[in-house]
Amino acid sequence: MQLRQNNIRQLAEREFDVLIVGGGINGASAAAALSGKGVKVALIDRGDFAGSTSMHSSNLVWGGIKYMESRDFALVRKLCKSRNHLIKSYPSTVQEIRFLTTITRGFRYHPLYLWAGAWLYWFIGNAFTRIPQFLSPKRIKEEEAIINIDGAVGGFEYSDAYLHDNDARFVFNFVRSSLDFGAVAANYVESLGAQREQDRWVTKVRDRISGETFAIRSRVMVNAAGPWVDQHNSLSGQKTDYQHVFSKGIHLIVPRLTESGRVLAFFADDGRLFFVIPMGPRTCVGTTDTRVEKPEVGVTDDDVAFVLDNINKRLNLVKPLQTSDIIATRCGVRPLAVKASSGGDRDFLQLSRKHAVDIDAESRHLSIFGGKLTDCLNVGEEIVEEVSKLGVDVPFPDFRWYGEPDRAVREAFMQQARLMDLDAMTSAEASEPLSDRLWRRYGAQAMEMLEDIRQDPRQGEVLIAGTEYLRCELSHARRREMITRLEDFLRRRSKISLVVPEDTIRHSPGLVEACEILFGDMARERLDEYLAEEPDPLLQTLSPEAESDNPARSEKLHW
What is the β-pairing status of strands 41-45 and 184-187? parallel
Alpha-carbon gap, residue 31 to 28, rounded angstroms = 5
Residues 328-351 pLDDT 10s: 999 999 998 888 776 545 555 556
Cα–Cα distance list, 445 to 190, 290, 431, 495, 517 (Å): 29, 41, 21, 19, 18
Burial class of residue 449, CB neighbours in 10 A (0-12, 13-18, 19+) = buried
pLDDT in tens, 427-442: 776 778 999 999 999 9
Q: What is the DSSP annotation of 277-318?
A: EEETTEEEEE---EEESSS-----HHHHHHHHHHHHHHB--S
pLDDT for res 286: 87
Whole-number Å distance between alpha carbons of 487 and 482: 12
Q: How many helices (H) and strands (E) does the chain have?
A: 19, 18
Q: Which of 464, 519, 461 is nearest to 486 (CA)?
A: 519
Q: In the beta sheet, which residues pair with residue 197?
A: 200
Q: Which amino acid is at 477?
A: A
Tell me the pairing of strands 273-279 and 263-267. antiparallel
pLDDT for residue 446: 95
Run of H or E including 416: helix 407-419
| Nearest alpha-carbon partner for 106 in 150, 140, 147 | 150
Do 441 and 165 meet the contact criterion of CB atoms below 8 Å apart? yes
Give 95-147 as a DSSP string. EEEEEEEEEETT-SS-HHHHHHHHHHHHHHTTT-SPPPEEE-HHHHHHH-TTB
Within the chain, which residues score under 50 in pLDDT?
344, 541-544, 546-559
Backbone angles phi, psi at 86, to 5 degrees: -65, -40
pLDDT given at position 58:
87
- Residue 142: closest CA among 130, 131, 129, 152: 152
d(CA 482, CA 186): 8
CA dihedral 177, 183, 189, 191 (to 10 degrees): -120
**CA 413 to CA 444: how far, in whole Å?**
7
CB of 260 closer than 8 Å to CB of 140: no
E strands in 183-325: 184-187, 189-197, 200-207, 213-223, 242-255, 263-267, 273-279, 282-286, 290-292
Q: How many CA atoms lie within 13 A of 238 on its CB side?
A: 30
Q: CA 507, 509, 510, 511 torsion: positive or negative?
A: positive
Please give the pLDDT value at position 64: 85
